[in-house]
Amino acid sequence: MPPVQACDRSKVLVFGAGNFGSCLADHLGDSLHNVFMWSRSADVVSHFNQYHRNSEVLQDHVFAESITAVGPEFPSAELIQDMDVLLFAIPTEGVRATLTALKPTLEGRKLPLLIFVNKGIEIKTRALTLEIIADTCGPEIAKVATFISGPSFAKEIVKRQPTSVSVVSLSTEHAQLASQLFHQPWFRCYTGDDPIGVELAGALKNVYAIAAGIAAGLGYENNARAMLITRGLAEMTRIGTAYGASPLTFLTLAGVGDLFLTCSSPTSRNYTVGYRLGQGEKLDHIIQTLGSVAEGVTTAKGLKAIVDELGIKAQLATGIYDVLYGGRDVAERANELLALPPNRELDLPEESGKPAKRLLKKLGLEE
């Protein structure tokens, strides 16, 4: 299926009206595209169309008038088939069901540009979004799907604060189209061709942000935070390389850039979960009162299964899993990690790539 061609004014449907979906809809609407934003909440849809404000997130911001909210029913086939771009800003756990519902409307027509901005690993299957796309929509669609990731807080995007992101796809052409759609002086895009690495980086950094928050909650200061960011990056790179991603991907905006932002800002949801754990709160209470999704909590479970499958050391990730799901005391587990013997600083696995090779084979890109 040929891709939609980039144009000055595209019709974009955003699936998801949370923080990130809303801020990207606003960015595209302010860039003179015609934007439709789907929400499951009838109240959000009604309030947005009347006042151009989101009643649940970014409540102080007045959104671009070129955005129309739709829902709560799933978007109609007629609306979807009229779109040039479909942008998915929903939690990873909801991607499979959404794509399954969407698949019939993609058949027998020119394929819109598909862009995914979610960050996480599907818990039950341990699948990245690229594999979920292949399972639900087929390998040909997965091969041209695009992914945007990087250090990009929603509240700063709507203020037009300078932001840069990685835009990647197995198809260079489609990465360039997505980059052209989003690129502005205040929202700079850099293209790449390693969606597996970018997906892993985007998911894993949330787990290490919980670790950084725990350290702050325990009273550790800047030295400890710098240690966690650096060792987290080394661990992410080791996991990603063993999975089959390029180690260089973890030095990009989607890697160290996003890791640094998420681990160093008290407004990060995952950092907040960790901080409150470090302060002695119970996880169930934190989740109930957080007010939004912290994907690092669920990602930690999928990551533990991946680490076990790969057979590699990931002591920080394992420590976070033990605290979240093993009932371990936060301070006690932190002290155990600090008491580990000295080790080699950079240690990439000698053998790598089995999970990525399986996925690429599913896409018809590996023998």
Which residues are annotated as catalytic? 205
User: Residue 160, class by beta-carbon neighbours within 10 Å (0-12 exposed, 13-18 middle, 19+ buried)?
Assistant: middle
Beta bridge partners, 113, equal 85
One-letter amino acid identity for 153?
A: F
Q: Which two tokens stand for residue 303?
A: 């990551």
CA distance linking residue 201 with residue 253, whole number of Å: 10
Q: Are strands 146-149 and 163-169 parallel, antiparallel or unpaired?
A: antiparallel
Phi-psi group of 244: left, alpha or beta (phi > 0 → left; psi -120 to 50 → alpha; rest → beta): left
Which whole-number Å values give the CA distances from 189 to 21, 193, 322, 338, 364, in the listed order? 17, 13, 37, 38, 28
Please give the DSSP secondary-structure letter assigned to residue 184.
B
Contact 287, 300 (CB under 8 A): no
